[in-house]
Chains A and B, each alone.
Chain A
Amino acid sequence: MAISPNSEPGPPPEVRLRDLRANSDPVSIVARVVTAQRREVTRKSDGGRRPVLSGLLTDGTASVRFTWWDPPNEPIETGEILRAVNVQVREWQGRIEVSFNWKSRVAPAGEAELPEVPPDSMPVRPLNGLRAGDDGVRIVGRVVRVAPKTVSVGEERRLLHEGVVADASGAVAFTAWSDFGLRPGEAIDVSGGYARGFRGRPQLVLDERSTVRRVPGDGLPPSESLLTGVPRSVADIEAAGGGELLEVRGVVVGLLPPSGLVHRCPQCRRSVRQGICRVHGTVEPEPDLRARLVLDDGTGALTVNAGRLETERLWGRTLEDCLRELTATGDPSRLEEHLFTTVFGRRIVVRGRGSADDFGVTIQPESIEPATADIAARAGELRTKLQGAGR
């Protein structure tokens, strides 16, 4: 039984975003604006234009999309805290959304009005369940690796820490915009993080709103096992859309262009054709080696982007060798052909991070090693397996 929003008995109850239910009675919320975009929609009936502001809200317990019909003319800034009374809740494509309409009253609110969220009250999310757009997430994991990095954000230079965190369900990359003093191997309980999509994979982001606590880490995989990785099939990696700390074995069945001797822009390292970088114009290109290997294990195929060091090791030739040969033959395609005949059919183990796009999964390798296998032992295992199945 819906209560008319205009009926007197007080404003609707204040609800945390985590507790929103689709098609419930109107509610009140207090939340911070994560993103907001203003646009106009055209009414079908009379062609009139109607302004609308939409984006993402969070109150630390969850994040939801919002739609604000006829918003005020003053800009709404990211980070602003709003109290919205009488908002509609609905579900769209499996996610909860709120909308503010003429019946809703929206006003600025203070930091103190945001619901207090004790970190322990949030459910811990398994890392393989993280999706881009999730906010207010709490995870418990082990830092596999972490390294500082300086980036430019607009004008300013900022220091951030990048790494990988893992639990028993999987591993994700993270970016920490504040320095939490993270060390490889330690177990952490993180609340107030959010997930964004990066090259088709969710990535955990920690900022000044996040809290990090050291925990004993019982039940988390030990550091050693995280670094060696668990071998996975290509089909499995394709289904997951890539991943961190991957280990995959297979056979090199192809080589994609550009491979072999390439030329790069000295400023941005992009491939350069005819001495022209598509960002920096005419440059003095620097020679480099690379190999885009097609690795196939029979269940699927993925691309391994080998850099100069790995290419030199696989090829058994150095950049200098290649430059010398190019001077002698004057034909770069001969080099590529030679690289192909050297790598085709090789059995290798690749470790690294994989990302997915329209062309499949690409791995940025941390290591490429020859796959070693004791053929007699393998035959023995297969024989046992066959006999077991035959009965």
Chain B
Amino acid sequence: MTGREPAWRVLAQEFDASVEEEKGVGERAASYLLSPLGARMNRVLVAGVLSAAETVGRDPENPFYRARLQDPTGTIRVTAGGFQPRAMAALREVGTPIPALVVGKVHLFRGRDGTAYASVRAEAVRPATAEEVRHHLADAVEQTADRIRLVEALRAEPVGSDSPIAGFPAAWVRSAREARRRYPAVDPATFRGPLNGVLRTVTGEEPLPAVPVASLPAAPPPVPTSSTARAPATVTRALPPAPPRAPSAAERAEESAFLDVIDQLSEQSADGYADLKEVVRAAARTGVTSQRAEELLGRLEETGAVEEPIVGKLRRA
């Protein structure tokens, strides 16, 4: 029996921490992204606040869109192209950020240095009510907590054991053991803390997360911001401390130095792109912290000076 691949319920933190790939063999073999908690993802169902989509690439014959889905633990990149017409049409309709559900296939891009960037190639996208998103976040919290519990239970067993674990699907146990082998250094407990924060969003004590400024349209978002809104702790592109304003001369100088780094790296690279992680490392050598680098990048992408046509790959626009 070869059933359909399940849609794993994951939060951005776990998704973003996933770098291990499993490729099937044979014809039409599925490939999987293995998370540190043992989610063996070919397909995921994720919910959050979806930003307006940007087009990627310049070929009008081959449209490709990319958006960001923000949940309380971080951001997931969502893409759709001509092979996902239904999802692409839905992505294009997103104007201001809206709560949404996305189901799609997991796509892993690996940079030349081996760094992995995961994204979701959407099969279907649908605007949702805030309540629907909260229900889905509750599912994700529950299943993430289950996976943490499973991975922790496996730490107690001897290596090489293959006995079933009561209360967990056999497939979960298998992939959790594989995750334990592939991510020996990851402490599953680090994924538990953020779940409490997600639960505050589930109950409505906190609103749905805001979308990072980098992908916002010019107008400020009309949706769920209140005075209590906080930037989530682990977003990949953190919110700048203040709303966008005209940059100072010092900032301009910093930006231009940063652009030089991108130029230099893309010239050296074979594919003509500067690798995001390399850029951040190079910037660090000039005294720019990685958080500052993310902010700069966000601003540069927003102004259109830099684009990221492939996840994790930068070039001058």
Interface string of B195-215 (1 = CB under 8 A from A): 110010011100000000000
Residues of A within 8 A of B204 (CB): 375
| Number of B positions contacting A (CB below 8 A) | 43
Interface residue from A233, A241, A358, A383 paired with B169 (Cβ < 8 Å): A233
Residues of A within 8 A of B3 (CB): 238, 300-302, 359-361
In contact, B134 and A375 (Cβ under 8 angstroms) = yes
Chain B: minimal CB distance from A169 (Å): 17
In contact, B148 and A389 (Cβ under 8 angstroms) = yes
Residues of B within 8 A of A234 (CB): 6
- Interface residue ranges of B187-242 to A (CB < 8 Å): 189, 192, 195-196, 199, 202-204
Could you tell me the distance between the alpha carbons of A71 and B5 in the complex, rounded to whole angstroms?
50
In contact, B172 and A299 (Cβ under 8 angstroms) = yes
In contact, A294 and B196 (Cβ under 8 angstroms) = no
B132: CB under 8 A from chain A?
Answer: yes
In contact, A298 and B134 (Cβ under 8 angstroms) = no
Could you tell me the distance between the alpha carbons of A254 and B103 in the complex, rounded to whole angstroms?
9
Residues of B within 8 A of A296 (CB): 6-7, 45
- Interface residue ranges of B128-180 to A (CB < 8 Å): 128, 131-132, 134-136, 138-139, 141-143, 145, 148-149, 169-172
Interface residue from A360, A378, A379 paired with B2 (Cβ < 8 Å): A360
- Interface residue ranges of A335-378 to B (CB < 8 Å): 337, 340-341, 344-345, 347, 356-361, 373, 375-376, 378
In contact, A383 and B196 (Cβ under 8 angstroms) = yes
In contact, B135 and A375 (Cβ under 8 angstroms) = yes
Output the nearest chain A residue to B9 by Cβ-Cβ distance: A298
Could you tell me the distance between the alpha carbons of A376 and B204 in the complex, rounded to whole angstroms?
9
In contact, A340 and B141 (Cβ under 8 angstroms) = no
Residues of B within 8 A of A379 (CB): 138, 199, 202-203
In contact, A382 and B138 (Cβ under 8 angstroms) = yes
Could you tell me the distance between the alpha carbons of A300 and B7 in the complex, rounded to whole angstroms?
7
B183: CB under 8 A from chain A?
Answer: no
In contact, B149 and A389 (Cβ under 8 angstroms) = yes
A44: CB under 8 A from chain B?
Answer: no
Output the nearest chain A residue to B152 by Cβ-Cβ distance: A389
Could you tell me the distance between the alpha carbons of A253 and B6 in the complex, rounded to whole angstroms?
10
In contact, B169 and A251 (Cβ under 8 angstroms) = no
Output the nearest chain B residue to A302 by Cβ-Cβ distance: B3
Which of A361, A376, A382 counts the most chain B CB atoms within 10 A? Answer: A382
Interface magnitude class on chain A: 35 or more
Interface string of B1-27 (1 = CB under 8 A from A): 111111111000000000000000000
Chain B: minimal CB distance from A284 (Å): 33
Interface residue from A239, A251, A301, A356 paired with B5 (Cβ < 8 Å): A301
Output the nearest chain B residue to A234 by Cβ-Cβ distance: B6
In contact, A253 and B45 (Cβ under 8 angstroms) = yes
Q: A235-B171, A254-B123, A337-B86 are in contact. Are A373 and B45 (CB under 8 A)?
A: no
In contact, B1 and A298 (Cβ under 8 angstroms) = no
Residues of B within 8 A of A390 (CB): 189, 192
- Interface residue ranges of A288-306 to B (CB < 8 Å): 294, 296-302
Could you tell me the distance between the alpha carbons of A353 and B171 in the complex, rounded to whole angstroms?
23
Residues of B within 8 A of A345 (CB): 101, 103, 126, 128, 132
Interface residue from A300, A341, A360 paired with B126 (Cβ < 8 Å): A341
Q: A300-B3, A360-B2, A376-B203 are in contact. Are A340 and B124 (CB under 8 A)?
A: yes
In contact, A301 and B6 (Cβ under 8 angstroms) = yes
Closest 10 CB pairs of A and B: A360-B3, A235-B169, A301-B4, A345-B101, A298-B9, A379-B202, A379-B203, A296-B7, A253-B103, A300-B6
- Residues of A at the B interface (CB closer than 8 Å) are 233-236, 238-239, 241, 251, 253-254, 294, 296-302, 337, 340-341, 344-345, 347, 356-361, 373, 375-376, 378-379, 382-383, 385-386, 389-390
- Beyond A238-B1, A379-B202, 19 extra complex contacts between A and B, CB < 8 Å: A235-B6, A239-B169, A251-B139, A253-B103, A254-B4, A254-B103, A296-B6, A297-B6, A298-B143, A301-B6, A340-B124, A375-B135, A375-B202, A375-B204, A378-B138, A378-B202, A382-B145, A382-B195, A385-B145
A-B contact pairs, 12 of them (CB 8 A): A253-B43, A254-B123, A298-B9, A301-B5, A340-B86, A345-B132, A360-B1, A375-B134, A375-B202, A382-B142, A382-B145, A390-B189
- Residues of B at the A interface (CB closer than 8 Å) are 1-9, 43, 45, 86, 101, 103, 123-124, 126, 128, 131-132, 134-136, 138-139, 141-143, 145, 148-149, 169-172, 189, 192, 195-196, 199, 202-204
